[in-house]
Amino acid sequence: MSDTFERLKGLLVSRLKLSVGEEVINMDTTLFGPGGLGLDSIDVLELVVGIKKEFGVDITDRETAEKIFTSIGAIVGYIDEQRRIS
């Protein structure tokens, strides 16, 4: 797995104090709803701040957030894409 994926898993578990371990998170894991991580809007704000600090990537608009916060794989793809661009 990619370094971004591993770092994002650690960020999710530690910063959001998730009740699940990193081992249950995979690229298809969703953030919301049944079967997902059960995040709420406060968790998303915390995640945006964490991504900025950990990866130097901004998520500045709602449209982008709605697109990438569908799964862990979508977030990893966005982070990697933004880091290549800058």
CA angle 79, 53, 23 (to 5 degrees): 65
DSSP state of 19: S
The pLDDT tens digits of the residues spanning 28-60 come to 999 998 889 999 999 999 999 999 999 999 999
Report the mean per-residue pLDDT for the chain: 93
Q: Which amino acid is at 68?
A: I
* Average pLDDT estimate for 11-16: 94
Among 28, 40, 43, 58, which one carries the catalytic annotation?
A: 40
Domains delineated in the chain: 3-85 (1.10.1200.10)
pLDDT at 83 over 80: yes
Residue 12 has pLDDT above 70, yes or no: yes
User: Measured between alpha carbons, how far is 1 from 16 in angstroms, rounded to an integer?
Assistant: 22
Structural contact between residues 76 and 12, judged by C-beta atoms closer than 8 angstroms: no
pTM of the model: 0.92
61 is catalytic: no
